[in-house]
């Protein structure tokens, strides 16, 4: 999806075309909106700022509902769920994912993100009632997502009748609902190439802005010394940063434009440095896995590039082995962070060892809980069994005994074998959908978007194995939008101008 921006950036070199002017307007518009939001919440109390922002944004979205998709995807990539508390914090002052009764003192247990989803959905339905132009989601990917959501609803009911806590269950079920809503909105409202390009550009700009914030925070705000904080951004930001790098690789293969390659390459350097500064092994694994998927897809569906891809892969493996050998014993700096994910598999540091032991005990507890109800799961809203003791980290993570790090096993624990089947069925259908697009469509832009979508799904699964992902508001908003665009690609390719 992010590669849609390539088509805007990929106009003829040195020509001031309408596409170039549109690109400038989009960039300026993004900076103005993002800057205005940050300034609004920096200057005013949260409650007052929301009273100003929500009506203005709602009116703007009502006039063109697809803008709601742009804002939600950008917000997912840019705004934290919980404030991080750094002196330079800007984006985490915007309570996009926090209930109004907690963030602004209003008596409404609803988040601004949910209000934006509601306004976008109502605007879309109203528009369709007037002109009957919208094409609502259909097809096997939509059907697979509906089946998964029905299992989610069943798990919620099961959890509540089994004495689960409703408020706790909301933290688990909300992201799943967000994902499906974003799937429907993206699959319905992204109707043509121009809208797809804008969505991709907004995503890239949001991720790059986050990369700049993280880099500035590491080198300037804390001068490279994080102390006990350990990360400069939220855990999930490493995943989004890996998506920027993945977009650059996909563009290098399918979109042959020197300007785009240079811009994305420079941006990828910033994103890579920030991933390493954020010190999350899962982020590095996500980037490596996503890039690997893009390369494999290119090898499978671009026969003319196979020799060059194979040669570059061999060179990359040799260079990587050499670098690992050289930097294996590095303990500090960027080189150490590059080696850390591999070294932690065989010779973990004290920090990595402690984290691994915690996750091992936590995973065992999840499996024990799963075995109490292997078919339908235990439902949402109750702590998992604590057979093997783990550290109580409720001071930094209040849901430590409800939502585990291993998000994949969380699916089985909460929804049982039925949930596992529905979840992996959804992933499998998404992969088949992407393969179909790669096989049938010759347009480089469409192929690049499909490759990016498949890489994003693969990276999400890889990170979900060891970190909080599938229960994260931001990740599921993004993943739902990616799947929605993927389901829409065949119809876009049939009806839109190249």
List pLDDT tens digits, range 112-138: 999 999 999 999 999 887 787 788 888
> Hey, is 53 helix, strand or coil?
helix
404's CB contacts (< 8 A; 6+ apart) are 362, 363, 365, 366, 384, 410, 413
User: What distance in Å separates the CA atoms of residue 417 and residue 373, rounded to the nearest whole number?
Assistant: 9
User: What distance in Å separates the CA atoms of residue 253 and residue 270, rounded to the nearest whole number?
Assistant: 21
Please, what is the Cα angle at 329 between 323 and 332, to 5 degrees?
A: 95
What pLDDT is stored for residue 92 in this prediction?
85
What pLDDT is stored for residue 221 in this prediction?
86
User: What distance in Å separates the CA atoms of residue 100 and residue 81, rounded to the nearest whole number?
Assistant: 13
Burial class for 419, CB neighbours closer than 10 Å (0-12, 13-18, 19+): buried
* DSSP symbols for 213-255: HHHHIIIIISTT--TT---SS-HHHHHHHHHHHHHHHHHHHH-
Residue 250 neighbours by CB distance under 10 Å = 31
- Per-residue confidence of the chain (498 residues) as pLDDT tens digits? 444 443 434 433 333 333 444 777 888 889 999 999 989 998 999 899 999 999 999 999 999 999 999 999 999 999 999 888 888 888 888 999 999 988 887 888 899 999 999 999 999 999 887 787 788 888 999 999 999 999 999 999 999 999 999 999 999 999 999 999 999 999 999 988 889 889 998 999 999 999 999 989 988 888 776 655 567 898 899 999 999 999 999 988 888 777 777 888 899 999 988 988 887 777 788 888 899 999 999 999 998 888 888 888 888 778 777 766 666 666 665 556 666 666 665 556 666 667 778 888 999 999 999 999 999 999 999 999 999 888 888 887 888 899 998 999 999 999 999 999 999 999 999 999 999 999 988 888 889 999 999 999 999 998 898 788 888 999 999 999 999 999 999 887 655 443
Question: Per-domain residue ranges for the chain?
Answer: 4-495
What pLDDT is stored for residue 246 in this prediction?
95
CA dist 235 → 159, 192, 212, 277 (Å): 28, 33, 16, 12
Phi, psi of 205 (to 5 degrees): -65, -40
Burial class for 195, CB neighbours closer than 10 Å (0-12, 13-18, 19+): buried
> Which tokens belong to 368?
């024990």
H or E element at residue 284? helix 281-301
Tokens 């060891």, located at residue: 466
Three state DSSP letters for 102-128 = HHCCCCCCCCHHHHHHHHHHHHHHHHH
What pLDDT is stored for residue 95 in this prediction?
93
pTM of the model: 0.89
């Amino acid at each position: 999806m992010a590669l849609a921006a390539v088509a805007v950036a990929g106009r003829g070199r040195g020509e001031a075309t309408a596409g170039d002017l549109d690109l400038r307007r989009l960039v300026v518009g993004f900076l103005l909106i993002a800057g205005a939001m940050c300034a609004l919440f920096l200057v005013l109390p949260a409650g007052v700022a929301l009273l100003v922002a929500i009506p203005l944004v709602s009116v703007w979205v009502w006039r063109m509902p697809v803008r709601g998709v742009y804002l939600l995807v950008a917000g997912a990539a840019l705004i934290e769920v919980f404030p991080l508390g750094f002196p330079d914090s800007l984006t985490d002052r915007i309570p996009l994912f926090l209930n109004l009764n907690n963030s602004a003192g209003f008596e409404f247990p609803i988040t601004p993100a949910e209000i934006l989803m509601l306004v976008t959905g109502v605007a879309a339905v109203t528009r369709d009632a007037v002109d009957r132009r919208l094409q609502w989601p259909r097809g096997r990917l939509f059907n697979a997502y509906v089946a998964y959501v029905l299992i989610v609803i069943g798990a919620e009911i099961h959890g509540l009748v089994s004495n689960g806590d409703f408020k706790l269950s909301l933290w688990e079920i909300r992201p799943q609902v967000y994902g499906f809503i974003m799937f429907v909105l993206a699959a319905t409202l992204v109707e043509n190439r121009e809208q797809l390009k804008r969505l991709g550009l907004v995503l890239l700009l949001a991720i790059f802005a986050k990369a700049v914030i993280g880099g500035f925070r590491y080198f300037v705000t804390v001068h490279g010394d994080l102390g006990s904080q350990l990360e400069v951004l939220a855990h999930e930001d490493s995943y989004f940063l890996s998506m920027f790098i993945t977009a650059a690789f996909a563009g290098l293969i399918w979109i042959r434009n020197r300007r785009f390659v240079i811009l994305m390459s420079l941006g990828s350097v910033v994103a890579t440095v920030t991933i390493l500064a954020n010190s999350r092994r899962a982020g590095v694994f996500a980037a490596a896995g996503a890039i690997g998927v893009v390369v494999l897809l290119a090898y499978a569906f671009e026969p003319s590039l196979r020799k060059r891809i194979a040669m570059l892969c061999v060179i990359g493996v040799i260079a990587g082995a050499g670098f690992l050998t050289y930097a294996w014993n590095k303990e500090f700096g960027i080189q150490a962070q590059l080696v850390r994910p591999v070294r932690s598999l065989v010779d973990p540091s004290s920090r990595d060892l402690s984290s691994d032991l915690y996750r091992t005990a936590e995973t065992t507890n999840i499996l024990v809980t799963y075995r109490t109800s292997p078919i339908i799961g235990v439902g949402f809203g109750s702590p998992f069994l604590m057979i093997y003791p783990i550290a109580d980290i409720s001071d930094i993570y209040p849901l430590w005994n409800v939502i585990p790090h291993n998000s994949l096993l969380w699916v089985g624990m909460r929804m049982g074998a039925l949930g596992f089947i529905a979840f992996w069925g959804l992933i499998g259908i998404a992969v088949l959908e992407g393969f179909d697009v790669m096989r049938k469509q010759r347009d480089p832009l469409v192929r690049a978007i499909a490759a990016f979508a498949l890489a994003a799904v693969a990276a999400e699964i890889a990170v979900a194995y060891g970190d909080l992902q599938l229960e994260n508001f931001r990740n599921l908003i993004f993943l739902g939008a990616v799947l929605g665009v993927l389901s829409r690609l065949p119809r876009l390719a049939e009806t839109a101008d190249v």
